[in-house]
Amino acid sequence: MAPIAVGDVLPDGTLSYFDAEDKLQQVSVHSLAAGKKVVIFGVPGAFTPTCSLKHVPGFIEKADELKSKGVDEIICISVNDPFVMKAWANTYPDKKDVKFLADGSATYTHALGLELDLGEKGLGTRSRRFALLVEDLKVKAANVESGGEFTVSSADDILKAL
């Protein structure tokens, strides 16, 4: 399947998270994105160096600026289970504007065409690093990294697209 691209309609899918009462919830991507301007960024793995030290902190730090430009939701997706995503989210005290959602079986990542086979490194199927700007389910920017790079999918790159 070709990777998601500008002009494509965002596919629907179900992702998981723990709510404020620590109950496991499932949410459809379309319920978060329909009629809204959203940023969806994906990372290869929770607690990994680039993801934890650069990618996620950038979106947390730039959340107010993104929201001032009309972004309604900032969503982080990783091919990890919801327990890992909750523990990872809790390492960021200022995370209130970023939703951490789990794609445990990489089903949604496959629907986006953004899966990355890291089986040789013992990591299985993961997500390529990416950032999407989506308006009412239509992709306006699709910044997808090659390999392990972090050159086009930062919060600053999305701000340039707004």
Distance CA 96, CA 94 (A): 6
pLDDT at 8 over 70: yes
Whole-model pTM?
0.95
Q: Which are the catalytic amino acids? A: 51
pLDDT at 79 over 70: yes
User: How do residues 108-154 score in pLDDT, each as one tens digit?
Assistant: 999 999 998 776 777 768 889 999 999 999 999 999 998 779 999 99
Domains present along the chain, CATH in parentheses: 8-161 (3.40.30.10)
Distance CA 136, CA 144 (A): 20
Which residue type occupies 140? K
User: How do residues 35-69 score in pLDDT, each as one tens digit?
Assistant: 999 999 999 989 988 888 899 999 999 999 999 99
User: Going along the chain, which residue ranges are E strands?
Assistant: 14-18, 24-28, 37-43, 73-78, 98-102, 115-117, 125-127, 130-135, 138-144
